[in-house]
Amino acid sequence: MAKVQSGDKVKVHYVGTLTDGTEFDSSREREPLEFKVGDHMMLPDFEAATIDMAEGEKKTFTIPCESAYGEHSAELDINVPRDALPEGIKLVEGTVLQARGPEGEEETFRVVGIKDDVVMMDGNHPLAGHDLIFELELVQITEKGNGVTQDHGIG
The greatest distance separating any two alpha carbons of the chain, rounded to the nearest whole angstrom, comes to 62
Domains and CATH numbers, the chain: 9-69+127-143 (3.10.50.40), 74-122 (2.40.10.330)
pLDDT (0 to 100) of residue 101: 78
Low-confidence ranges of the chain (pLDDT < 70): 147-155
Long-range contacts for 42-45 (Cβ within 8 Å, ≥24 apart)?
A: 42/155, 43/67, 43/68, 43/132, 43/155, 44/155
pLDDT (0 to 100) of residue 89: 86
Q: What is the pLDDT of residues 50-76, one digit of tens each?
A: 999 999 999 999 999 999 999 999 999
